[in-house]
Structure 1
Amino acid sequence: MAAIKFGKYQLIEQIAVGRIAQVWKAQITGIKGMDQYLVVKRLLPHLSTKKAVVDIFLGEAKKIVGLRHENIVRVYDFGSIEGSPYVAQEYVDGADLGTFMNAMRRRGLALGLEHAVFIMERIGASLDFAHKQEVIHGNLRPQDVLISRRGDIKVCDFAICLAALAGDMEEEGLKKASPYLSPEYVLYRSLNVKTDIFCAGVIFYELLTGQLWLGGGSAQALSDLRDLAFDPARKVPEDLPQGLQEILKRAMTRDPAARYLSPTIMYEEIKRVAKGLATRGSRQDLAKYMTELFPKQESLGAHPEKGRAETAPALEVKPEAATVPKPPSKPLNKRIVMGGVAGALVLV
């Protein structure tokens, strides 16, 4: 398709339509005549007329435009062009964590513990930095964690997803966001730092087990989260190393007051556990997985609907000594246990 002129940007390919925005791969010509690729997210037309949603979308974009961290997708620009609010941000050539994990499941591959911990350590670093700048994410999901072809981990949509929640707080809107919502948000619309800690714990659970933390579809997930007798921490597998069990149980407990006081404390615990690994995960290892799972000619335009499989087979795993994998060319059916002790593609 021909490029669409949008202010100073050329929209060259629509990557997806998310919960509140159209997601475009865009191009801009710099002051030295060099073309640069980025992502432009345009608020959906029906939401562009809702002042409350627009105010949150642009207001939160203003907060994050100054965030500079290697594990956070950089926001370059925001504003409104011809009545269409937008955010322009870093383009990441890669896949979101949900797509990555679904591809692993389809091939019967298991992510070694050292790689799960490495990914979570990078996510923790992003949350730690953002919260020190008084920015929360609000609805952290695997789709918001991007893995580049080089193995870099970057988290996107800090704060902006708050506009998604504001734009659709009815039952259907909750279903779209579940199961990556905290129990207190589902019940009381309470949203703060403890929500990010809970969602980070859920993502860590899925990385470590290779399983979706809540099955049965979005309606069942909401029912579970509303059930006061349901404690997510009880789902933590007992065959995980003790240090990892403790992190998951504290992050995923139903009671916000019993969770980590801050992402910083959780991040420090993850780093402590990482140091106890017989083998450390690395960016290079993730790059090998990306090369195997997503050949260069394959388009990595991800869609929110693809980030979470409705029925994904669990990865059957067994403890064994940690080793750094070669590029996975055949199914791996073992969980690797620690020695000694996931700009943006799509998202809002």
Structure 2
Amino acid sequence: MDVAGRRRAAAGRGADAGGALGGRARGGAAREVAMTPQALVEPARFGDRYTLIERVAVGGMAEIYRARQDAIAGFEKDVVIKRLKPELAGDDRVVDMFLDEARISAVLNHPNVVHVYDVGEAGGTPYIAMEYIAGEELTDLCRRGLQLGRFLPLPHAVELMRQAARGLGYIHAKRGKDGEPLDIVHCDISPTNLLVTEDGELKIIDFGIARSRHQRARDAAILPGKLSYMSPEQASRGPVDHRSDIFSLGVVLYEITLGRRLFKGKASDVVQRLREGDIPPPTFVRRDYPGPLEAVVMRALERHPEDRYETAYDMADELSEFLREADLRTGPLRIARYLDQLAAAAGGARRAELVAEAERRAAEAEDELDFDRGLFDGFRGAEGGSAEAAAEWDEVDEDTREIAAALGVAPDQLDRGGARVEALSAGRSGRIDGAAADAGGAAADAGGEGGAGAGGAS
């Protein structure tokens, strides 16, 4: 895998029945179509400020484009345009859902949250212009580390979760122009909605099923989120507030510090474990797991919301304290170097600017030694073993109807979460976030225009 091959472009993605439920949807559920980017015959102007370069994906509700924003004095900026399908522009319910996501995303401005630059209308069709980011989903990063026998180091895993908790704290605390809390709840925190940039920063993405105080009324019976990352109150169809997101983040923290999934198996078994609070402490899995970190994990995973952290900021503080007390060295630069070393372990090129001085001196002292190869051979797992570990990381491909039955709801009461869209963009392996939930319930044709198959959540 070369440098370009490991980079991914992302911004804000939309919902798909399979993505919402932690697996690829079957049984006629709407799907997001993953496709090789389809270069337009020629760049097309879109509105007053954008030029569409290529269509990256198409789903039941929206189309995703890589685009260029240009202005005076030669200013150019790559962005992602998420455009509602023109044929749905007359459906008020679909438009309202699309704009709900835009309203929530547009008020957020934080280093650990994907940025929305613009919300507008072109040719009678609403669109969202979003940040174009080089990076990859946390779930893909973990899988790659398992495949190479070099899983995400504990300090980096904690640092990424600290960044995620900071971002969530900001989202939950956001106030409107009237000074009143917006009461935003993401509702879909999972490794597929946490993007790690190539510079070691974490971004929370995909507000397609988020809830907020100013949101238009939705059916209260609808259950949002991926099953494996639902809070007990979500699984029990109870009231949900920001502490539900904290539980979901606790699940991710548990998984990426242990290298194994917490809730995996039959939907009925997962729901039972969620409702009963059946969570083995990390030290039951790995005896040398740090006690202070286990305390953070288990508090975030308390069955009752009132027993969890009151705010995600509090969780971020305790993660910072753990890193400080344990004297663990991490941070965006070190994480970026780890990502770079992973690429080298897979046979790719290093990013010269990330090679530390100590590495350069060692390479110079070894004359003809293939330094990168020699240093990173140890990252490779045993033949076959690492592939099995990576497969264990993947989510279960479970029928939507089975999940609905386990939760005691009808299949159409399951909100559609984020579907992964994978493609090649500008020479990079791209994951563009942006196709919103298929609110109309129409199934996207996997073999449709430009389609190369159905993309499901990892």
Mapping 1:82-121, distance limit 5 Å = 82-121=123-162
Partner of 2:113: 72
Partner of 1:301: none
Indicate which of 83, 94, 99 corresponds to 1:42: 83
Partner of 1:185: 234
Partner of 1:331: 379
- Deviation, 1:168, is 11
Give yes or no for contact 2:231–2:274 (8 Å, CA) kept in 1.
Answer: no
Give yes or no for contact 1:76–1:89 (8 Å, CA) kept in 2.
Answer: yes
Q: Gapped runs of 5+ residues in structure 1?
A: 299-325, 334-342
In 1, Cα distance between the equivalents of 2:160 and 2:121?
A: 35
Percentage of identical aligned residues:
29
Q: Does 1:29 align with 2:70?
A: yes
Q: Gapped runs of 5+ residues in structure 2?
A: 1-38, 175-181, 212-216, 349-373, 382-429, 437-458
Structure-1-length-normalised TM-score: 0.74
Mapping 1:158-197, distance limit 5 Å = 159-162=207-210, 177-188=226-237, 190-197=239-246
Over residues 71-106 of structure 1, what are the superposed CA-to-partner deviations in whole Å (9 max), with x where a residue is unaligned?
A: 121111123434543321111111121111111121
- Number of residues paired by the alignment? 304
Over residues 258-300 of structure 1, what are the superposed CA-to-partner deviations in whole Å (9 max), with x where a residue is unaligned?
A: 22222122122112112112222121222123224457999xx
Aligned CA distance change for structure 1 residues 103 and 18 (closer, same or farther; 3 Å): farther
- Deviation, 1:123, is 0.7
Aligned CA distance change for structure 1 residues 113 and 64 (closer, same or farther; 3 Å): same
Q: Higher relative contact order by CA 8 Å / sep ≥ 6: 1 or 2? A: 2
Partner of 2:103: 62
Partner of 2:294: 245
Partner of 2:277: 231
In 1, Cα distance between the equivalents of 2:205 and 2:63?
A: 15
In 1, Cα distance between the equivalents of 2:252 and 2:187?
A: 14
In 1, Cα distance between the equivalents of 2:205 and 2:55?
A: 18
Partner of 1:6: 46
Write the letter of the residue equivalent to 1:105.
L
In 2, Cα distance between the equivalents of 1:200 and 1:258?
A: 15
In 1, Cα distance between the equivalents of 2:149 and 2:335?
A: 17
Aligned CA distance change for structure 1 residues 77 and 222 (closer, same or farther; 3 Å): farther
Mapping 1:136-155, distance limit 5 Å = 136-155=185-204
RMSD: 3.5
SS in 1 for 2:236: helix
Over residues 111-153 of structure 1, what are the superposed CA-to-partner deviations in whole Å (9 max), with x where a residue is unaligned?
A: 2211111111111111112222143322112122112222222
Q: Does 1:269 align with 2:318?
A: yes
Larger radius of gyration: 2
Write the letter of the residue equivalent to 1:6.
F
In 2, Cα distance between the equivalents of 1:11 and 1:106?
A: 36
Structure-2-length-normalised TM-score: 0.58
Aligned CA distance change for structure 1 residues 125 and 292 (closer, same or farther; 3 Å): same
- Deviation, 1:222, is 5.8
Give yes or no for contact 2:195–2:203 (8 Å, CA) kept in 1.
Answer: yes
Aligned CA distance change for structure 1 residues 182 and 54 (closer, same or farther; 3 Å): farther
Q: Does 1:346 align with 2:433?
A: yes
Over residues 35-88 of structure 1, what are the superposed CA-to-partner deviations in whole Å (9 max), with x where a residue is unaligned?
A: 210122234678766534432431342233232222121111123434543321
In 1, Cα distance between the equivalents of 2:226 and 2:84?
A: 17
- Deviation, 1:200, is 0.8
- Deviation, 1:230, is 3.5
Per mean C-alpha deviation after superposition, the further-off stretch among 198-207 and 55-64 is 55-64
